[in-house]
Structure 1
């Protein structure tokens, strides 16, 4: 019998501190940085975002989202055999111990499951789901918890209005289970390290301190140009692999980075805007958390239903990109 992997539960979490564009503009003005709600919305489609509290780490956000996903799947935490966390803002410098191990401990799964992190920036969730799918199809695990969790507010330079207005914090999670029904229909992953410099944190640890910059750097025009191109291409690859057409897609859930990029991708695929799930206006760019956050929102408000074909795609630093075609 062919074994498939299927998404059986979704969950998400947003920190309590919701910051509107007007509130952010007022904070930045105190530092001599000029921006406005109109300026931010016109360039990104973002109206607000959430920031984690000082005592909230990626693992804390991840645990909240994970518990909701596990509950939605009708499982107990002890049923989980593997925890994969996608994050560019891990709990610890040097990324160890992994945030996944911290999440495992907080869920009470110590020594009861495997756990590791995946780092592909904003494509991280797509990479992590693809990894979970492969493990389940190979018969290694039957129940895998995949989480995208970020506290990007910790790495933002609030004197750079071209980046600091775009990002927010949050977490999203899914449970994948072995199934005799097709669930993950196709996954496609890509990377091109020749573009590593256009989106990065250009610093490194040396002598126990950061050498260089510890803030996010982005060449916005270069990222925009590349993103629109590769997102169209990888979406078509995933559809072709599943022997499907864009018309077969019930919902498009792209990485929630910029509304103009998202609209451009939908247009190139010939999909109406009504078929695209948009949360970037309320969440900002939450990197690896953005796709599962949007998926959970659409599942819980009834838009995404059992049997729907959902195309999820992301693009991020590395440069990385990928797509997942899933039947819910």
Structure 2
């Protein structure tokens, strides 16, 4: 295995100079031409850094711990973890991921285990956006909370701007002339749970999305009709509720808490010979490919930024660990733009993706 000493002998510089260059600390200390020659020689010789030796020198292992409650079992976990992994890899870090299934004793044990691996910091991910009480044994390591907010306000966090989701979805329907807009939220037996334990009567995201829906109606001078709001889960009674909504309120636009609930609207419309994207308009939330792209016509939806939250959270965590700015590392090809890294409680403005379920302005 190639050593720094061999690189130093080949390039005619000292081992300390090679160390400065290969550890990225050469700026202002080593002439650019010499640094370039050292890097080229290291590459030509197949030099591979020794992470153990580096950790002994710097007291940093370049390992991040990723703790999740039940998110590893959800369909969106892959995007959240992928975003974190991509950012970690670009910064030379490795991600250790554990799932606790909402078990607090297991969670405490897993955090202590990761600490024994000398992780440099933690990403703590929630299954759904909500206020949480972070485990005390995450201290004193830097921690970033993904898809949630710290109830005590101590930890840095990132989450979707849920109110803006409802606002933008409703505004899109108003922009094409909808004047009787319904909101189909979550409810019934579909309540927020962790490990089978019910946490609340409604998802916090549902409350905020409905608030955004109401806010834009008021701004547009339109009455927020309680008869145009239903909260349903995923059973026959849910379908009956949406059928009653159709026949009683005759809405021409629908904002759905998620893409899956838009299916009820499509079914009721088909039963009544109404055409989605022509006679009525529908907007969902999730950008769930299995639903949004399978429904016909394809569903206009608001993308939930799981990849972006994972990526931003990792950048923020490493910036805290290394005490440096990383704004130049932000990707430009994400679906939703990333917030500034100096935010302590960041919210992502989620992107609305137009497909075919909203009436076009010219009615075609």
| TM-score, scaled to structure 2 | 0.27
- Say which one has the larger Rg: 2
